[in-house]
Structure 1
């Protein structure tokens, strides 16, 4: 059994070779550039952990993990275009460094290479994993579209937001774990619990992310708080504040979002605190984390096999980075 950190290192060593041919360099170099920027490799490591929960790592697990990481990076490359982002992990985004058309094509070919890795799977696993991969890929696109739709709407409910986060973020983590479990020979019931572990963990992770953006310690978090507030992003915190605030506070909050005055972040944070949004967010995060642990406990394997996944959950959601 390996820890998350060990599996990240094992996977990264295999993944860091080029996944593209040399020519045309104008298409493939941007792909290598983007992958070399790095990343936490959470999802491919989760795939390997899902496998190891039930047995020895199957050779195909590295192909699935690679397909998942390539798909994830494809979504990031296209998200950067949609968000007009100039930096990714502190480096110029592909459409900034090269151009938008190249970023679109390079993202497309990265997705195609992901399917080439899936095509290597043993025929006993391919249909089931391909079906899960395709379902997840479609859901991630749905989540991204909902995220863009919500930017144009003033009346997004918390339920709608949670569903968007589930699609945009959680299902890929959940599917990564479940594909590994399938390769490990897990039963249908165990596969369900592994998926639900990842889905709930993904939502808890996003609640924590929203919380840290508003209330995180700049020394530990590595950036000034309030980025989401400055961009008027609809987060767990903002949606809850709009639901529970009295009329004067709600009107002030809406006015701050429209006018973007000096000192906006501190004024919004003040309303958040008056509405106990910080405490509510911490409790909500804990609820989803508890649900994740509940499903992990329900997986029918010995407790010692679950230790590393339980530690991963607490690491992801207790983080201050």
Structure 2
């Protein structure tokens, strides 16, 4: 484990105490404070933390190899990174409820914990609100404070729109694969995943570093959004073909009638007979139905299709980085991201 990862992980305890220390100012009963503590400890840490760590990595890349970053600046970059992790926790708690998921990060989903249930809906709101408590504490005095608020609000809205179209495209009680398409899948994952997972951490570091040029933010988006789409395609593939012990969850995209990369690729390649099987069994929850869909995926050799897509995406991303203006955003900002996700298995 790297020193930076240890420092980042240690920062969570500081921020948790910040949130808990403020609760008495609201005269919250003790059981409420205890609930918030348990919820935050259960839902925020424990992931790969790539999003949060990327804020710190990006700031280092922007400053350059030999530039000095003060301890205060590093702490503030870690705070921003944890705000991204808090946003992720907010999305995941809500998403697990909507998808009726069973596990998250190798543990039962928060809403499935004893005595939690639908209280998790309100807990998701609290998780989101914590972001703004932390931003207020650490950045209110900075001239870029409003820019941070605006970026978090904008990114949250983009992600919620992506989630909306995901849900409207694939309702569990009205299965219609004719709603699915390669183009719609790309739109959903761009808004549901790419903006908050890839653009947000980099843009936060850019704002903290004093970046004002719109061209710099545009260049970052033009590389990071395709990278985010590639990342989500990986997720879709691992949901079906990944090892639950490794990825930390049991994939349910087939049962949940999700407009995933695998099903849109299958629909694009299937024979008339195979399409009938897909329409008859996709979105159903029995093990037999799921197995029939997976068999079609295997018959169409979607694993090979995925690996070809992965290599093509990697080459295209490397080309985008090579062609980018390093005077706007250093190439290292992007190459570190690519290195983290290329050929990942969890």
**TM-score of the aligned structures, taking structure 1 as reference length:** 0.83
Q: CA 1:216–1:158 in 2, change beyond 3 Å: closer, same or farther?
A: same
In the alignment, what sits opposite 1:111?
128
1:185 match: secondary structure = coil
CA-CA distance at 1:172 after TM superposition:
0.4
2:282 match: secondary structure = helix
- For the 8 Å contact 2:284–2:290, the answer to whether it is kept is no
- Measured in 2, the distance between the counterparts of 1:102 and 1:295 equals 45
- For the 8 Å contact 1:220–1:320, the answer to whether it is kept is yes
Matched, 1:11 2:8: yes
- Measured in 2, the distance between the counterparts of 1:307 and 1:26 equals 47
CA-CA distance at 1:191 after TM superposition:
2.7
In the alignment, what sits opposite 1:269?
294
- Measured in 2, the distance between the counterparts of 1:77 and 1:203 equals 22
Q: CA 1:103–1:27 in 2, change beyond 3 Å: closer, same or farther?
A: farther
In the alignment, what sits opposite 1:135?
154
Q: CA 1:76–1:259 in 2, change beyond 3 Å: closer, same or farther?
A: closer
- For the 8 Å contact 1:197–1:292, the answer to whether it is kept is yes
1:39 match: secondary structure = coil
Deviation track 1:188-214 (CA, whole Å, cap 9, x = no partner) reads 333333333332222111111222333
Q: CA 1:137–1:279 in 2, change beyond 3 Å: closer, same or farther?
A: same
- For the 8 Å contact 1:132–1:175, the answer to whether it is kept is yes
CA-CA distance at 1:41 after TM superposition:
1.5
- Measured in 2, the distance between the counterparts of 1:219 and 1:41 equals 18
Alignment match of 2:237 (pick from 211, 220, 228): 211
- Measured in 2, the distance between the counterparts of 1:263 and 1:15 equals 43
Deviation track 1:21-61 (CA, whole Å, cap 9, x = no partner) reads 36434334344334434222121111222222211553532
Matched, 1:49 2:49: no
Deviation track 1:119-164 (CA, whole Å, cap 9, x = no partner) reads 2325321232222211101011111212211222432211111111
Residues 239-278 of structure 1 aligned to structure 2 (within 5 Å): 239-257=264-282, 263-278=288-303
Matched, 1:167 2:184: no
Matched, 1:193 2:219: yes
Alignment match of 1:69 (pick from 85, 90, 113): 85
Paired residues, number: 316
- Measured in 1, the distance between the counterparts of 2:224 and 2:337 equals 11
- Measured in 2, the distance between the counterparts of 1:215 and 1:86 equals 18
Task: Note the residue ranges of structure 2 that are not aligned, 5 or more in a row.
Answer: none
- For the 8 Å contact 2:237–2:306, the answer to whether it is kept is yes
**TM-score of the aligned structures, taking structure 2 as reference length:** 0.78
Root-mean-square deviation (Å): 3.1
Q: Does 112-121 or 226-235 show the bigger shift?
A: 226-235
Matched, 1:202 2:202: no
